[in-house]
Chains A and B, each alone.
Chain A
Amino acid sequence: MDRVTFEGVGKRYGKQWALRGVNAFFAPGEVVMVIGPNGSGKTTLIKCLLGLVRATEGAIHVNGMEVGADPQYRKAIGYMPQLAEFPRELTVDQLLRMMNDIRDAPSGSTDDRLIEALGVDALLDKRIGALSGGMRQKVSAVLAFRYRPTVLVLDEPTAGLDPLSARTLLDAVTEARRNGTTVLITSHIMEEVQQLGDRLAYLQDGRLRVLLAPETILDITRETSLSKALPKYLAQLPPAHVESV
């Protein structure tokens, strides 16, 4: 059974379609890298999944539950936004407890491995307002993984992280995939896409133009790096071509 499904999803702002005719199915244990130029619809796609933006047409399902009125489907979702902002006067520990309360997560039920791995344990007594942007990103990563989500949505997760922390985070993604979590990641780093993604979803002008495994694109184009292979592959496609596997 598919974990996340997009069926004919479109989103219109005024007369402008930000997303149009997206059909995609993501399986458990799959890492999908969502890429595309600025304004291509990546953020809108993710926001539709998270319920932050209401799709104008089509339907999205998460674990069989339709994204819409009932917020309970979000229990299955872990989200790490690109910009991590929290109430500045709370301590990190208070923020973690707040999320525990909201999630009704009893102590011991959470996955706290990233707290230690990212060094967040040393920040617990610190005010959020006293943390750097990178430290807040680490806290954000902890929150995304903490409630053992079956769907993880990470918006440019390594931006702002030091290389070691970025590595730790990517290892956590690999571990989550092994445990059957469906992971959607937006990224501009092609090495990350090639290394981590089971499939890449390439969006352009609000349309899903490619949904393929990176290896397939490399095979077709006979290239070794995705940053060279993808433009070559896209150049072969007719303007409105949509391909998926």
Chain B
Amino acid sequence: MLKVCKYTLIDLARNRFAIGYATLLLLVSIGLFMLEGDPTKALISLTQVVLALVPLLALVFTIIYFYNQYEFTVLLAVQPLGRRNIVLAQLLAITIAMLIAFLVGIGMPVLVFAPSAAGWTLLLTGAALTAVFTAIGGWIAVKNRDRARGVGIGLVTWVLMVLVYDALLLWIMFAFSDRPIEPVIVPLAAFNPIDLARILVMLKIDLAALLGYTGAVYQQFFGSVGGMLVALCALILWVALPSWRAVSAFASKDL
């Protein structure tokens, strides 16, 4: 598995999209820190960029890379290698490449301009989102033979998680505003990795106070060790489940 991973990484290291992705993130983050005098404000803006852009680009890049490598993946499947190892190696390599691009593009400026607890939380959650959406992208690409369909499903997934899910939560909160539904909303928000990442960063920037009672509930839950463990487990599950589905689907599919 590590042999395939190593050479996939060499291929990805020279990939124009991966280099462009790191450069884009670097320009955006340096631009935000230079334009905003207050690093905390810049960090809030950067959080919005990370929460929207990182999942989208990780998802689309993974899907397209898998489709571009399809013929070669078939050739690998004819070698004395287990199929599960092939997909795991490719997923691992793409995750590492996207993480390096993220850490270069976002990590370096954050560590230079805002090396605070909030900055570290943004880096950790952004890295987790990279891993989550790479795994989801791998699953989508393995499950769908048609490239256009795969990319379409990826985009719909992103829209659902970034926009629709939040809109749904807002509607629930509005519709049931006369009842104490915060204890229900908290786990629902944590169920979406993007929302979970947003909450974790917000709590570190001390923006939770602006959310009133909901913010207090978030603070109470995720501010505790148990809450952090739940968040960590949720993110690990978000990586593990799609990866497992991708590996199982590839192991049993006709190529």
Task: Give chain A's interface residues, CB within 8 Å of chain B.
Answer: 13, 47, 50-54, 71-75, 77, 79, 81, 83-90, 94-95, 98-99, 101-103, 127, 143
Contact = CB atoms under 8 A, between A and B. Distances in A.
B75 A89 contact: no
Nearest to A75: B80
Nearest to A129: B14
A71 B81 contact: yes
Contacts of B80: 71-75, 102-103
B14 to A, nearest CB: 4
Given A52-B74, A86-B72, A90-B10, A102 B254 contact: no
Interface in B1-25: 3-4, 6-8, 10-15
Contact of A81 (B6, B7, B74): B74
Contacts of A79: 75, 78
A124 to B, nearest CB: 15
Point out which of A51, A89, A99, A101 has the most chain B C-beta atoms below 10 A from its C-beta. Answer: A89
16 contacts: A13-B254, A50-B77, A52-B78, A52-B254, A71-B81, A73-B80, A74-B80, A79-B78, A84-B71, A87-B72, A90-B11, A94-B7, A98-B4, A99-B79, A102-B79, A102-B81
A94 B6 CA distance: 11
Nearest to A97: B7
A95 B75 CA distance: 12
Given A88-B11, A89-B12, A103-B79, 15 more contacts: A13-B254, A50-B78, A52-B255, A53-B255, A71-B82, A73-B80, A83-B71, A85-B75, A87-B8, A87-B11, A88-B68, A89-B10, A98-B7, A127-B14, A143-B75
Nearest to A83: B71
Closest CB pairs A-B (n = 9) = A85-B71, A87-B11, A89-B14, A52-B255, A98-B7, A101-B3, A53-B254, A89-B11, A75-B80
A15 B83 CA distance: 26
Nearest to B82: A71
A79 B255 CA distance: 15
Contacts of A73: 80
B78 A77 contact: yes
Interface string B221-255: 00000000000000000000000000000000011
Interface string B74-110: 1111111111000000000000000000000000000
Contacts of A86: 72, 75
A234 B6 CA distance: 51
Nearest to B255: A52
Contacts of B45: none
B72 A54 contact: no
Contacts of A51: 77-78
Contacts of A95: 7
B69 interface: yes
Nearest to A143: B75
Nearest to B70: A85
A102 B4 CA distance: 8
Contact of B3 (A53, A81, A98, A127): A98
A75 B76 CA distance: 12
B7 A47 contact: no
Contacts of B254: 13, 47, 52-54
Nearest to B65: A87
Contacts of A87: 7-8, 11, 69, 72
A180 to B, nearest CB: 20
A47 B78 CA distance: 9
Contact of A94 (B10, B12, B15): B10
Contacts of B3: 98, 101-102
Contacts of B79: 71, 74, 99, 102-103
Point out which of B10, B15, B75, B81 has the most chain A C-beta atoms below 10 A from its C-beta. Answer: B75
B81 to A, nearest CB: 6
Contacts of A127: 14
A101 B6 CA distance: 10
Given A47-B255, A85-B72, A74 B11 contact: no
